[in-house]
């Protein structure tokens, strides 16, 4: 392969990687938009299903009406035959035949509607489950993305890759050092004051048991007994 061909291949590979990087960067936004599109399409499907179900109800009423008319006219035909009026009975029978032909057509339409409605309901339920699952996935991905970004920002403190964060961390350490220095100075001042007033020496003597550590109930009682004996 010539150098020029290799260069073209490298450029194409770089362009592909750049395109994929753009897609990856916008992946969550793309998923959310696709979810919105899916939800809208699902809403349209439900609206369409409602219309089909309404049409099915209309056909169902026609089927019930035809069955009722057939039953009614069968009664008329029987009455005509009982009266010996064969001509009238035949006319009624012809009418019944017309009703039955129409019933066959309408029943076929009704069966088709029932099949379509059943299939559409299954598809809609499956689509709803898929959308809910995708919603959960997007929520997890978004939360994970936020956690990882927060972790990257926190980790930058130790990597030194973020100059502004490193500077802020250094400033925080200097503030802590100044605060500790002030606390040390205050402790030293209190210690010096104690030494100058003799409190420190007195405390050390008491701790060594050389001087009385203070009055107590038993010592007072002992003193009063001695005083009473000497009087």
Q: With the CA atoms of 42, 47, 52 and 56 taken in that order, what torsion angle do they form, in degrees rounded to the nearest 10?
A: 120
pLDDT tens digits along 154-203:
776 656 555 565 676 677 788 888 888 888 888 877 777 666 655 666 66
Task: Say whether both 85 and 172 belong to one domain.
Answer: no
203 part of a folded domain: yes
pLDDT band at 126 (very low <50, low <70, confident <90, very high): very high
Share of the chain above pLDDT 90, in %: 38
Q: What is the pLDDT of residue 78?
A: 92
More confident residue, 195 or 72: 72
Which of 111, 143, 175 represents a domain boundary (last residue)?
143
105 part of a folded domain: yes
Residue 63 has pLDDT above 80, yes or no: yes
Q: For residue 171, how far is the Cα from the chain centroid?
A: 38
Burial grade of 102 (CB within 10 A; 0-12, 13-18, 19 or more): middle
78 part of a folded domain: yes
Task: Say whether both 124 and 191 belong to one domain.
Answer: no
Q: What is the pLDDT of residue 189?
A: 78
Share of the chain above pLDDT 70, in %: 71
What's the total number of domains in the chain? 2
Q: What is the pLDDT of residue 162?
A: 53
DSSP secondary structure code for residue 84 in this structure: T
Range of the domain at 106: 40-143
């Amino acid at each position: 392969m010539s150098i020029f061909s290799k260069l073209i291949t490298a450029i194409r590979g770089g362009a592909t990687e750049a395109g994929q990087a753009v897609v990856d960067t916008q992946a969550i936004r793309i998923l959310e938009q696709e979810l919105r599109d899916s939800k809208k399409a699902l809403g349209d499907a439900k609206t369409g299903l409602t219309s089909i179900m309404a049409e099915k109800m209309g056909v169902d009423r026609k089927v019930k009406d035809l069955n009722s008319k057939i039953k009614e006219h069968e009664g008329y035909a029987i009455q005509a035959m009982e009266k010996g009026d064969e001509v009238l009975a035949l006319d009624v029978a012809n009418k019944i035949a017309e009703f039955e032909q129409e019933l066959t057509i309408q029943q076929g339409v009704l069966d088709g509607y029932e099949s379509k409605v059943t299939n559409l309901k299954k598809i809609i339920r499956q689509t709803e489950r898929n959308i809910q699952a995708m919603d959960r996935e997007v929520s997890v991905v978004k939360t994970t993305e936020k956690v990882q970004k927060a972790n990257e920002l926190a980790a930058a403190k130790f990597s030194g890759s973020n100059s502004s964060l490193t500077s802020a961390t250094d400033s925080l350490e200097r503030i802590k050092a100044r605060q500790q220095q002030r606390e040390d100075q205050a402790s030293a001042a209190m210690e010096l004051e104690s030494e100058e007033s003799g409190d420190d020496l007195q405390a050390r003597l008491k701790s060594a048991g050389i001087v009385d550590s203070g009055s107590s109930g038993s010592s007072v009682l002992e003193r009063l007994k001695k005083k009473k004996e000497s009087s």
